[in-house]
Amino acid sequence: MEEIHTIDHLRRKIKTARQAGKLIGFVPTMGYLHAGHMSLVERACRENDFVVVSIFVNPTQFGPNEDYDAYPRDEKHDLAILRKAGVDLAFMPTADLMYPDGYSTYVVQEGQLTATLCGRSRPGHFRGVTTIVTKLFNMVQPDRAYFGQKDAQQVAVIRQMVRDLNFDIQVVVCPIVREPDGLAMSSRNAYLDHSQRSDALVLSKALFEARAAIEAGQRDADKVRALVRERISSVPAVQIDYVEIVDADSLKPLKRLQGRVLIAVAAKIGLPRLIDNIQLTLD
């Protein structure tokens, strides 16, 4: 595996792979890699001839009072597990490289997809996401790009961006990877102490209880939402940001559950803000 730190070097390697007729898979990450990230990497390695993983904590998707400086980082660990997985190239740019002095061009997606859920709670977040993903797509020019379902809104936003900007890229979405007790894997879980981690389990438990209610026949979105909020609220240390039930593609709120349904939650537990979701396809 090669470690690349400049755009010119990256482009030379991509050009060589293209000239050799290789299919290119790409996994953009912010590092501090865990089994959730590696499920994307491993699938990319199975489905492509040449795999690029980027490690970049993107400052433009963090708000002024968020955890950019504290975001966990462990480059040595990340590179070791990527090398073991068979990745061909690790791209690790600096913030100054990606956003040099005078940088002024941003990709902004308007409408429902970025106005709800985390977009409502984190103004400017998705401007940062769409900008950095666009830049990385232009640099890597992959055939396939891999994202995790835990970031369900990000997936919807990027799929729309790919359509709107005519990227010739297949967006591949991989399932949420959970700890044995149900907690969705996240780099921010590293912030949790023992008590907070126990409290955090209420998020997945509430979602699983909602799924059980739906499988038993409940189709009223307001009732399912109330069930989830009540369950999460039973743990005082967990501060709910949102509980939403929306169409999984348009992210429009639902009153009756049908089609592709996304139940999404976000909450603060101590320092970290955690997100989780489940998806169901209903008649």
State the pTM of this model: 0.97
Catalytic residues: 37
At 185 the pLDDT is: 97
Instruction: Classify each residue of 34-51 as buried b or exposed e, where b means 16 or more C-beta atoms within 10 Å of its C-beta.
Output: eebbbbbbbbbbeebebb
Count of Cβ atoms closer than 10 Å to residue 194 Cβ: 7
Percent of the chain past pLDDT 70, that is, above it, reads: 100
Q: Which domains does the chain have, with CATH numbers?
A: 2-174 (3.40.50.620), 187-277 (3.30.1300.10)
Split at pLDDT 50, 70, 90, the class of 155 is: very high
The side-by-side arrangement of strands in the sheet containing 89-91 is 2-4, 89-91, 50-55, 24-29, 144-148, 170-174
- Residue 239: what pLDDT? 98
Q: If pLDDT is split at 50, 70 and 90, which confidence band does 50 have?
A: very high
Block residue for tokens 């073991």: 84
Q: What is the pLDDT of residues 217-230, one digit of tens each?
A: 999 999 999 999 99
Q: How many Cβ atoms sit within 10 Å of the Cβ of residue 115? A: 12
- The string of pLDDT tens digits covering residues 66-118 is 999 999 999 999 999 999 999 999 999 999 999 999 999 999 999 999 999 99
Region 133-154 average pLDDT? 98
Residue 20, pLDDT score: 98
The share of the chain scoring above pLDDT 90, in percent, equals: 99
| pLDDT, tens digit (0-9, with 9 covering 90-100), for 176-194 | 999 999 999 999 999 999 9
Average pLDDT, the chain: 98
| pLDDT tier at 259, thresholds 50, 70, 90 | very high
